[in-house]
Structure 1
Amino acid sequence: MKKNKIPYLLLMIVHLGLFVVTIIKKKDKKPLLLYYSGIGMAYVFEYVVLNIFRGYRYYPKVLKRNRLDSVFGAIVSQALIVPVSAIFITFFQLGWGWKIFFTLLYSGIEQLFIHLKVFKNRWWKTIYTLISLPFYFWLVSKWSIYLDQKPKKWIGYLTLFFTFWVNYLNINFVLVAFLKRIIFKKGWSLRKYYVNFIIAPIYGFIQSIIGVIVTLKNKKLIGLGLLHLVDQLFYRLKLIKMKKWSVYCFLPIHIVLLLVGSIFKQQMLHLMSESECSQRETKKIQSPI
């Protein structure tokens, strides 16, 4: 095993353990809803800082292509380490002391990774990590409150959107990095992987908006047709390059994600229904007739 993999593997094991503990102990809180929201927020950050402006690079040495290898490291960070710690802090109601502790811990790990040459800052600085992580932990905590105690439609819509978007981005990465099946590109750019990770989130954004609308309206068949039309449009605009594949092979992906979206929709409706009942009971106690 290459030495670069060891630090990433250790972090993955520790945070998978935290995730399992959170799921077991707090399953009544629907942790997956908050988990996908946390990943979605982290992916928005990563899209800007890593994908567009290339603020840093990861070197886990898992994949041969440097760009794909860096994105793999980013997924470990933004889809596991950071959101798992955020929901762990939130569901176990750990205060600001713990938020600061995790911030200092991850900033220290960042410096250690730089020293080990498994991570490299470009224009990004560790001080930015020290500033951004407490804000992220606070945002996830507020998101949980809105989901659990103050049901608002826009929170539900965004949570459902992040569920679709995160899965579309992860599926794109697996297809490109491991199966070498699809890549989003424009022209014959030598930086095809850079272009792919610029276009893929835009594609996922469009498909996720459609997924949210048809899931809320319970029009899955119509939604499947619209999702396929977007696939055809991207293909005809030559934004999708196919290798021994057809855009029709996207259909099973869309079907699965529409089913997942329906499950998450039901969880949100149940959670918000419980919150409304709890609020009504509280009002009755506070204002007895």
Structure 2
Amino acid sequence: MSSNSYWYLGLSFISIILQVIVFYRKRSVHTYMQFFIGVELLYLVEAVIYIFNGSYEYHPKLLSNRYYDSHLGAITSNLISIPSFALVLSVFQLSWIWIVAFIALLAGIEWLFIELHIYTLYWWRIGYTSLGLLLYFPLIKKMYPWMLKAKKGLSRAFLLFLCLGPFSGTVQFLPFMLFNSRVYRTGWFSDPAYDTSAFGIVYYLFVVLVITLLVMDSWRYQWIKYACLEIILLIITMLLKQSGILISQIWWDVYIYLMFPLLILMIGEIFGKHLAKGESPDASTASEINKAAPT
């Protein structure tokens, strides 16, 4: 393992410890939802500046493919470290002094990674990161009271979409990053890894949108939602294969991408119920997952 990897793994470990402390202190489904909303907001920003516009590159040196290796660094930042700091600020209701301190800390980490040559800036600058966090951290603090009020309508649908985004986005990317399970050929980029990543963004957002719409509909028989989701995914998969956009390179590829949205739909049913209640119950979700399964 490269020395680069230890820096990324160390940052991930510290951030996960922060998550454990927060989730233990505030054992609420709404807290988990707030965390996932924070992750998805970062995912959406990264889709624009990083995936489509090449703002920077991470070098954890854990994967042989340079571009997919950079994605792992992005996951460290957007799925683990930055949302963890945002959650600490929100749950403990820390003041602006703490917000500025956390921004300075993250800017310092970014500077250190640049100096260690394990992170490269192209057109991006550390100042852009600091300015973005100055907007991002207060926004995350506002999410919790918004969730308690978003019992129906577009607000509930939008928050539900953001809550489910990280599940779809992460599971969409990991199989082709780690196992080269599929390739998307759209012609948007000459590099297959770039092309696959860019279309992966579009695909995962489409899946989240479909699941959100299904959760928002109140149907008597839950299994109909799961059946509809599978039919939609099968049609999209066949169309992508017939058009030559989707190329599966491992036998289990299609099965994974057809099955994981069912789990996301189950999670969406749980999150949707908690948003509709407008309250913050204890985070005991094991039994609720069973209730959300199709009947």
- Aligned residue in 1 for 2:272: 265
Identity %: 24
Quote the RMSD (CA, aligned, Å): 2.0
- Aligned residue in 1 for 2:203: 203
Could you say what secondary structure the match of 2:28 adopts?
helix
CA-CA distance at 1:227 after TM superposition: 2.6
Structure with more contact order per residue of length (Cα contacts < 8 Å, sep ≥ 6): 2
Query: Where do 4+ consecutive residues of structure 1 move more than 4 Å?
Result: 149-152, 187-190
CA contact under 8 A between 1:67 and 1:193: conserved in structure 2?
yes
- Aligned residue in 1 for 2:240: 234
The structure that has the greater radius of gyration is: 1
Residue deviations 1:140-167 (CA, integer Å, cap 9, x gap): 1122221135656333212221233322
- Aligned residue in 2 for 1:30: 30
Task: Map 1:61-140 to 2 at 5 A.
Answer: 61-140=61-140
CA-CA distance at 1:188 after TM superposition: 10
Out of 258, 261, 270, the position equivalent to 1:254 is 261
Q: Report the Cα distance in structure 1 between the residues aligned to 2:256 and 2:65, rounded to whole angstroms.
A: 25
Cα separation, partners in 2 of 1:134 and 1:198, compared to 1, 3 Å: same
Cα separation, partners in 2 of 1:241 and 1:53, compared to 1, 3 Å: same
- Aligned residue in 2 for 1:147: 147
Q: Report the Cα distance in structure 1 between the residues aligned to 2:152 and 2:125, rounded to whole angstroms.
A: 36
Q: Report the Cα distance in structure 2 between the residues aligned to 1:194 and 1:164, rounded to whole angstroms.
A: 24
Residue deviations 1:123-151 (CA, integer Å, cap 9, x gap): 10111112111100011112222113565
Q: Report the Cα distance in structure 1 between the residues aligned to 2:108 and 2:16, rounded to whole angstroms.
A: 20
1:44 aligns with 2:44: yes
Moved more, 116-125 or 227-236: 227-236
Q: Report the Cα distance in structure 2 between the residues aligned to 1:224 and 1:79, rounded to whole angstroms.
A: 27
- Aligned residue in 1 for 2:292: none
Could you say what secondary structure the match of 2:183 adopts?
strand
CA-CA distance at 1:26 after TM superposition: 0.6
Given the two structures, how large is their TM-score scaled by the length of structure 2? Answer: 0.86
Q: Report the Cα distance in structure 1 between the residues aligned to 2:16 and 2:256, rounded to whole angstroms.
A: 31
Q: Report the Cα distance in structure 2 between the residues aligned to 1:54 and 1:99, rounded to whole angstroms.
A: 28
Gap regions ≥5 residues in structure 2? 220-224, 282-295
Q: Report the Cα distance in structure 1 between the residues aligned to 2:212 and 2:59, rounded to whole angstroms.
A: 35
Task: Map 1:213-228 to 2 at 5 A.
Answer: 213-217=213-217, 218=219, 219-228=225-234
Amino acid in structure 1 at the alignment position of 2:232: L
Could you say what secondary structure the match of 1:30 adopts?
helix
Residue deviations 1:46-73 (CA, integer Å, cap 9, x gap): 0111101111110011111110011110
Amino acid in structure 2 at the alignment position of 1:252: M
Amino acid in structure 1 at the alignment position of 2:265: L
Q: Report the Cα distance in structure 1 between the residues aligned to 2:186 and 2:45, rounded to whole angstroms.
A: 24
Could you say what secondary structure the match of 1:57 adopts?
strand
CA contact under 8 A between 2:39 and 2:78: conserved in structure 1?
yes
Q: Report the Cα distance in structure 2 between the residues aligned to 1:135 and 1:187, rounded to whole angstroms.
A: 35
Could you say what secondary structure the match of 1:27 adopts?
coil
Cα separation, partners in 2 of 1:155 and 1:18, compared to 1, 3 Å: farther
Could you say what secondary structure the match of 1:63 adopts?
coil
Q: Report the Cα distance in structure 1 between the residues aligned to 2:93 and 2:14, rounded to whole angstroms.
A: 20
Moved more, 97-106 or 204-213: 204-213
1:183 aligns with 2:183: yes
Amino acid in structure 1 at the alignment position of 2:237: D
Cα separation, partners in 2 of 1:127 and 1:189, compared to 1, 3 Å: closer
Given the two structures, how large is their TM-score scaled by the length of structure 1? Answer: 0.88
CA-CA distance at 1:172 after TM superposition: 2.1
- Aligned residue in 1 for 2:286: none
Q: Report the Cα distance in structure 1 between the residues aligned to 2:280 and 2:83, rounded to whole angstroms.
A: 25
Residue deviations 1:178-217 (CA, integer Å, cap 9, x gap): 2221222225965011111111111111111111111221
